[in-house]
Structure 1
């Protein structure tokens, strides 16, 4: 499978050979298809897939063919090769497509974590195969360390190793911890995938010419960014 997703363009081109097939979890994102009509087959998702993706239907695309996926503004599609022994746990909301034949297992999150993140399940995929991951901005890969914790903003974490030690926290001095979003703290071994397109709303306000007084109050008062709009 060949995926070409130029970052500024807002679309991705997927090319499949005769032996390849993929499952697209958001069929309405397919805006163009070139190939025999019988090479696309839409199917109902299972109940777990319906719950996680809030979608009823997925599309099986068979080669030889090519198709274009329309992407949300500011997003890119990143192809990730998954080996047979992969232990990465993915936020299923980021998965746009996957190769046929890949295995997947659900992993239930701890209640406290799920309550804060609204993320009850993560998915572990086993290959060999390719995942198409939809991210805001680009995809950064960092390596975990057993002794030095890695802190990642809650909404930016795409995938992490199943055996990593993970908890929700904040860090820094009291002023820093009061003015940041909830962070994932991770230690262990293996890669962590992070989407880089998160934005600082205060910086956007400044660029839009927001009031200086409002900006100062948001920064100085505890939890000011929540109460002062």
Structure 2
């Protein structure tokens, strides 16, 4: 299987599947184009531990030889993550676009308290050998956990963490800091944590856009504005 990962910055991914290849797409709605035999696609209903009983989650199995064009959400990149037989990472279902043949998938139901706050009712555990395609807002970074020193991660930025990690929803810092920050995951344990770096403060992003608009306006209106205002 060949993935055109260099095209992810353009908002799409081109995948070539050989005759022996098979790819499982967890978000079939992202399939923009498919080149191959009509019988090369088989959709199935997923059972996520009965969590989403009122929703039908569909996954598509694509067989080779074929070519697949997948769309990526704006500002997102795709990262290929190798999965071994002893992998114990729990992934956010929304972040996993596909997995290769040979990968097994199991669902892990989250606690009601955590699910009510984060809206994430289930996490997915994958066992290999094989690889999965992870969609991240911006880049994806890995930070190693410590059993003694807590790691705090923005709840919306956490992609995956070890199943045996200890985690809880929390905040940190002094009173002022904890009152104004978004909810954080506090994690302890061992192993890698995968984090997407494109999660930003919406208010900060709005301020930056507004600041850019003001600067452009002043450069055009004021005499010599283009010289003094950069």
TM-score, normalised to structure 2, is 0.83
Structure-2 separation of matches of 1:190 and 1:53: 35
Counterpart of 1:2?
2
Measured in 1, the distance between the counterparts of 2:55 and 2:183 equals 25
How much does 1:55 deviate? 4.6
TM-score by length of 1: 0.84
Classify 1:79/1:49 alpha carbon distance in 2 versus 1 (closer, same or farther; 3 Å).
farther
Q: Which runs of 5+ in 1 are unaligned?
A: 211-229
Corresponding residue for residue 149 of structure 1: 150
Partner-residue secondary structure (3-state), 2:199: coil
Runs of 4+ that moved beyond 4 A: 47-50, 52-56
The match for 1:83 is 84
For residues 208 and 197 of structure 1, what CA distance do their matches in structure 2 show? 16
Q: Tell me what 1:181 maps to.
A: 182
CA distance in 2, matches of 1:79, 1:52: 30
2:145/2:188 contact within 8 Å kept: yes
Q: Alpha-carbon deviation of 1:91?
A: 0.9
Tell me if 1:100 matches 2:73: no
Instruction: Report deviation, 1:115.
Output: 2.0
Rounded Cα–Cα distance in structure 2 between residues aligned with 1:3 and 1:60: 16
Larger mean Cα displacement after TM superposition, 1-10 or 160-169: 1-10
Match of 1:57 in 2: 58
Rg larger for: 2
| Alpha-carbon distance in 1 for matches of 2:171, 2:190 | 21
**Could you tell me how far apart the structure 2 residues matched to 1:8 and 1:109 are?**
33
Q: C-alpha distance in 2, partners of 1:9/1:81?
A: 23
CA shift for structure 1 position 129: 1.4
| Count of residue correspondences | 210
Describe the shift of the 1:45–1:106 C-alpha distance in structure 2 as closer, same or farther (beyond 3 A). Answer: closer
Q: Which runs of 5+ in 2 are unaligned?
A: 212-230
Aligned pairs for 1:1-229 (under 5 A) are: 1-5=1-5, 6-46=7-47, 48=49, 51=52, 54-209=55-210
- Give how far 1:110 is off: 2.0
1:190 deviates by 0.5
